[in-house]
Amino acid sequence: MQRQFWCLIALCYLGLGLVGQTAQAQPLNLNPGLWEYTNELRFDNADEPQTQVFESCVTEADLASGQFMQQDIEACEMTEQRLQPNQMIYSMTCQGPEGTSLDIEADIELNGDNASGVINNTVLTPAGELSMTVNLTARRVGPCPDPRQD
């Protein structure tokens, strides 16, 4: 149960919906549109990685405002954040139920129509430590769907 909780928290920060954006001198090297994310999750002691694929729309307004990057999870605190046009680096700590915590360290390269990186997660529980590594790849697959066509 705790493993599922921390997987959910960690996955909230995957893809490019990762960190709150602060003022930056240069825009991020990402193009708006429909993005497909593939996350390969590898847990300690697991023989096979788990793969997740999902899509998300990123608009020009999202990029300009930074809203596509903001997640409101009150239990988490950003401890490091560096945003450059071609790279996002961040670290955060999240507090969970029953004395558990999650440390996240990420390094993601941005390249216009694609992105890739590694997110290392360490869950500390009263029963011990669990580590999960996420290899992230993302690519722009086209324009966002027109919401009026639904």
> Structural domain boundaries of the chain?
2-141
What is the arithmetic mean of pLDDT over 90-110? Answer: 90
Per-residue pLDDT band for 150 (boundaries 50, 70, 90) equals: low
Exposed, middle or buried by CB within 10 Å (0-12, 13-18, 19+), for 69?
Answer: buried
Q: Name the residue with higher pLDDT: 138 or 14.
A: 138
Exposed, middle or buried by CB within 10 Å (0-12, 13-18, 19+), for 140?
Answer: middle
Residue 147: the pLDDT is 76
Q: Name the residue with higher pLDDT: 61 or 13.
A: 61
Whole-number percent of the chain with pLDDT over 70: 74
Give the residue among 6, 9, 18 at the shortest CA–CA distance from 118: 18
Backbone angles phi, psi at 10, to 5 degrees: -60, -40
Answer whether 121's CB lies under 8 Å from 6's CB. Answer: yes
Any bridge partners for residue 81, and if so which? 90
7-16, 28-37, 119-128: the lowest-pLDDT one: 7-16
For the entire predicted model, the pTM comes to: 0.76
Q: Name the residue with higher pLDDT: 84 or 103.
A: 103
Whole-number percent of the chain with pLDDT over 90: 40
Backbone angles phi, psi at 146, to 5 degrees: -75, 120
